[in-house]
Amino acid sequence: MRIGVLALQGDFEEHSSALQRLGVEVVEIRLPEDLHDIDGIVIPGGESTTIGKLARQYGLVEELKKLSNKIPFWGTCGGLVFMAADVGFDQPVLGIMDMKVERNAFGRQVESFEKELRIEGLEGPPFPGVFIRAPVVMSVGKNVKILCQVDDGRIVAVRQDNMLATSFHPELTSDDRLHRYFIAMVGETSCSTLAGSKIS
């Protein structure tokens, strides 16, 4: 299994290390030609405006949009913003998830926080949520499933088919359950593609 981690800006090394610890081969993606033979894409935390501009500069926005029909994507924080259809700012985004997000929804850095979360589909103890100038999902389309809300009901984790997005940063914790969850999503997709190709 090869997972591409978008390495334009942000904490892509933290995602790469978490995936490598779980035995996954990681490819850093900076240009469209890096996208060969990839089974899944992780879009890390970082500044979504910076990531968007750098992606647009070398034609990655269109290439990633095309790939999102085929393989699983996971965005954390800035990555969630980059995947959303509506972000409320004029900035380059993929627009592949049917949701409206609010950037920096909890406030500036002094409001950044840690909080334990219950996430649908994850067994065991609460998940350590690390929120840094984090966005929230304001509203979702009918194909988007809500996986986690904080106490006041604000949405912080969602899934739409093969796409996963979280407002918080599992890559900054030692809890690898969401990385395993994503690897399982990638496994299911590559198995079904393989099965499909056998039938044809």
Partner 1 sequence: METGTLTVKRGHAQMLKGGVIMDVVTPEHARIAEEAGACAVMALERVPADIRAHGGVARMSDPGLILEIMSSVSIPVMAKCRIGHFVEAQILEAIGVDYIDESEVLTPADEQNHIDKRNFTVPFVCGCRNLGEALRRISEGAAMIRTKGEAGTGDVVEAVRHARAVIGDINRLSAMRTDELASYAKQIGAPLELVYETAEKKRLPVVNFAAGGVATPADAAMMMQLGVDGVFVGSGIFKSGNPAARAKAIVQAVTHFNNPKILAEVSKGLGEAMVGIGLSQLPENERLAVRGW
| Among positions 9, 68, 149, 166, the unique one binding partner 1 when judged by CB under 8 A | 9
127-186 positions binding partner 1, by CB under 8 A: 130-133, 169, 172-173
Which residue number, 39 or 102, has a Cβ lying nearer to partner 1? 102
By CB under 8 A, tell whether 7 contacts partner 1: yes
By CB under 8 A, tell whether 18 contacts partner 1: no
Catalytic residue flag (residue 179)? no
66-125 positions binding partner 1, by CB under 8 A: 77-78, 89, 103-104, 107-115
| Among positions 20, 57, 139, 193, the unique one binding partner 1 when judged by CB under 8 A | 57
Catalytic residue flag (residue 15)? no
Catalytic residue flag (residue 171)? yes
Three-state SS annotation for the chain: CEEEEECCCCCHHHHHHHHHHCCCEEEEECCHHHHCCCCEEEECCCCHHHHHHHHHHCCHHHHHHHHCCCCCEEEECHHHHHHEEECCCCCCCCCCEEEEEECCCCCCHHHCEEEEECCCCCCCCCEEEEECCCCEEEEECCCCEEEEECCCCCEEEEEECCEEEECCCHHHCCCCHHHHHHHHHHHHHHHHHHHHHHHC
Least gap, CB of 10 to partner 1 (angstroms) = 6
Least gap, CB of 112 to partner 1 (angstroms) = 4
Note the residues at the interface with partner 1 (CB under 8 A): 7-14, 30, 45-47, 49-50, 53-54, 57, 77-78, 89, 103-104, 107-115, 130-133, 169, 172-173
